[in-house]
Amino acid sequence: MLDSPLGAGQDADGAGASLSASASISQYGGKMKLHEFQGKEMLRSYGVSVPESLVGYFPDEVWKLSMQIGLPCVVKAQVLIGGRGKAGGVRYCTDFAQVRSFAGELLGKQLHTAQGSASVHRLLVEQAVDIQEEYYFAITMDRSLSVPLILVSRSGGMEIEEVTALDPSRLLRLPVNPYTGLIPCHIRQICAFLGLNDLQSREMDLFRKLYRLFIEKECLLLEINPLVRTGKNELIPLDIKMDVDENALFRQRDIMRLRDMSEWDEDETEARLSGMSFIKLEGDIGCMVNGAGLAMATMDFIQNCGRQPANFLDIGGTATPETIRKGFEILLRCPGVNTIFVNIFGGIVRCDRVASGILEALSAHDVQIPVLVRLGGAYVEEAREVLAGSATPVTVIDDMEQARAFLRQGRKMEV
């Protein structure tokens, strides 16, 4: 599975390189992942043939659904992490008792894979398919060319990174001009690379439908692995990974309604509902910043000071004292945080409102860790007056060199 769109032969952030704090953030957020069963509903809506399948939430329900689907069938955990097959999250079943037993083992449990852990709340029961060959097909974005990129391999059912590591020639990389879209010569190249020259036009039309789905639903990734060839010479997607650009969700209302809130971190959900963007990391410096660019620059700055950010928190341009208070509450819940660094440039957001929110948060909580505040821009003098009149433990600084000294010392400094 692709964890992020690939550029020219490597991850866009640089394979093998040590990631900066801001680069690591690019691996989080920015995309809404769909479950397999949701992705297959999308495929059906675009006229793509997929095996009959049903979703169940309880062992007895899954068992009854398997009777509707028939034997043999495949039962799959519906989680938003890859590697579930190797972790025991997929089972080929030849009798109904086997289905019930597997459902009882998995539902409500944690599935641990190489890509993380997730609770299993639902299972997909799917009709088994007569597989003759397995292929890999994906569409992502080539960041270096800023165009859609089709990736194709005859080694389906495997992690594509493993395939390319063994032999890069086993992967076809096909950039697509967004002005022309997928044209017949692209499809001929794909079919020739996969050895599918005997396919009928109906099957070849599959690739057009997949490309149209990728473009119209504003995806960052559409991965079919495996795409199988059946004994009837049909091409059928057996699994789908579909990531949609979160910035496009206001246009994709049908997809937004599919969001699985149970898969979200509670603090990230609370921040989002308050109009903030929040991502947990593993450092000790809690960050509160306005604007994603300044937030990532601040995180890199913290790392350059020999410390590690505990989070990414962008309060946005319309933050209120209530928003600031909520942000502080979230930061104080982050494990291991021993310092909070507030770095605000007031353009749309007013610095005095930020200062009021800081004092409200500190008054509401017994904060025993240093709070470092750097403010600049609109209403900054008023903000300094607000903070100066407070008895709460706040260190107000003027520039980043003072912040550097503070963070390197790891203690409160005199300014």
Number of residues that this document lists for the chain: 415
Residues annotated as catalytic are: 136, 223
Cα–Cα distance for residue pair 77/89, rounded to 1 Å: 5
pLDDT at residue number 27: 46
* pLDDT at residue 90 tops 80: yes
Domain ranges of the chain: 21-51+129-256, 266-409
Rounded mean pLDDT, 284-293: 93
Cα–Cα distance for residue pair 273/260, rounded to 1 Å: 15
Return the percentage of the chain with pLDDT > 70, whole number.
Answer: 89
Question: What DSSP string runs through 288-336?
Answer: EESSHHHHHHHHHHHHHTT--BSEEEE--TT--HHHHHHHHHHHHHSTT
pLDDT at residue number 89: 97
Label the pairing between strands 123-127 and 53-56: antiparallel
> Is 8 in a helix, a strand, or coil?
coil
Q: Report the mean per-residue pLDDT for the chain.
A: 88
- Are the C-beta atoms of residues 359 and 328 closer than 8 Å to each other? no
pLDDT at residue number 316: 84
Place of tokens 């502080």: 328
Burial class (CB in 10 A: 0-12, 13-18, 19+), 47: exposed
Cα–Cα distance for residue pair 24/40, rounded to 1 Å: 30
Per CATH, the number for 21-51+129-256 is 3.30.470.20
User: Which residues does 280 contact at the CB level (< 8 Å), separation at least 6?
Assistant: 265, 267, 268, 310, 311, 334
The sign one gets for the Cα dihedral 90, 96, 98, 104 is: positive
- Are the C-beta atoms of residues 260 and 122 closer than 8 Å to each other? no
- Are the C-beta atoms of residues 98 and 104 closer than 8 Å to each other? no
pLDDT at residue number 110: 94
Q: How confident is the model at residue 1 (pLDDT cuts 50, 70, 90)?
A: low
Which carries the bigger pLDDT value, residue 40 or residue 272? 40
What are the tens digits of pLDDT across the range 370-402?
Answer: 999 999 999 999 999 999 877 777 899 989 999
Q: How confident is the model at residue 275 (pLDDT cuts 50, 70, 90)?
A: confident
User: Which residues does 249 contact at the CB level (< 8 Å), separation at least 6?
Assistant: 32, 255, 256
pLDDT at residue number 18: 41
- Fold classification of 266-409 (topology level): Rossmann fold (3.40.50)
- pTM over cut 0.75: no
What are the tens digits of pLDDT across the range 164-208?
Answer: 888 999 999 999 999 999 999 999 999 999 998 776 676 779 999
